[in-house]
Structure 1
Amino acid sequence: MSPLVVRARVGSLWCQKCGRLLCEAHRNQHSCEMEMQELERRRRVDVDAIREGIKRQEEEKEQRAADADALKRAEAGAKAARYRMWKDRRRHVAGISSSVASMVQRWSVQAEAGRKRDRLLDIYTSCNRINLRLWNEVSQPEILSDIDMDAWKRLCRNYADACALTGMVILVEGVELDLRLPWLRDEDQDWLDAPPPDANEVDLSTADPPS
């Protein structure tokens, strides 16, 4: 065989992978062990990569689900905490309103018959209705906030009028009843700093109409 032919066919005379010499009759039937091992290695790598990818996707899916559940629990916890806070505040103002309504009723009973007593009875009626309103907000709230501020302000005005008419105040453990709400800033309650009305300035005709 010519050296040129041999050089041209050198790649077919032996396997470039394992170096085994190949005869003319069997070279096309040669199964290279090295090549098979390489194919098997690649197959394993591909399978492992696919498995790892699937595992990673599952882990990411589980993590997203866990994060979503954690967010829902946090939101539910914050909502429950806000509801408890609002309920505590509603119970606070409702308790004060009960004290005011009870004392105004006592003052009206003790007052002498006349326009002043009638005015105190009107104030008591208003306070009692406001008291019911505030307690209803504790058990069955209708507003999407902490307290019914309009009802609370009417109660405070009624109390100021009753104090002006009687010259008396409510004492709690020897201290005058404080109508300031502890969760509000003082500047947001400056309307409480208005001087109390004079008894002669209190309208004796009617009380603030409760809603």
Structure 2
Amino acid sequence: MKTTTVLEGAAVDALIALLPAAVELESTLWPVAEGEMELAGMTTLAVDYLGAISAELSIALPSTTADAIREAGGSSAVFVGDVLRPALEAAAQTLGSGVMGEVVDTNTLTIFTDAGAAVYRISEPGSNTPFAWFAVQVKDSAQPSSRAMSDVSARKLGRIHDVEMALSVVIGRTRMTVANLLALEPGDVVDLDRSAGAAADILLNGRLIAHGEVVVVDQEYAVRVTKILDAAEAVG
């Protein structure tokens, strides 16, 4: 049986506080070895968190829970991951400073049976039907030494030179309810959490690596890099 830690317990507490439920939810550490979880047919979401303490988080939702979330959003086309992202962010942030990646819909359930993960059954008080299952697996946060890094040869790095990565630029963020999101119409103005002229964030695969300013080159938008962040700044 996996022994829960303070970090994992804080993560699930933060998660259930923001889950869209009609009543207050409770969590129970689930001894995977003592009972099977009925995960077939569930909507399973996963997200990676990179920081001083990195982790993988996953939540599995029964069809009734997923449908209720979509219904509350006013459309069957609502992506459940968008609705649950604030709750997953709150869970991840209990691990310390870091950057959370994209919430993805996945059929991978291996984390729920991994001995290294803490798995929780989330339900309404007194109910035998789970509202959701939540798993968090803290990864090895040890950083390689400078000497170890210097041992990586250019030949080995050359193996990944052709690997494509997603570079994105963020000029600001905001939060709104699903109802407000669905009510948006052409011409509406959405206020962002950043003032005009402030530096934009440059993210590589969801991780903050630099700051820059948006410019126009040949009638197309571009970004001029103004600062490259070191590892401590990137996760701070």
**TM-score, normalized by the shorter chain, greater than 0.5:** no
TM-score with structure 2 setting the length: 0.21
TM-score with structure 1 setting the length: 0.23
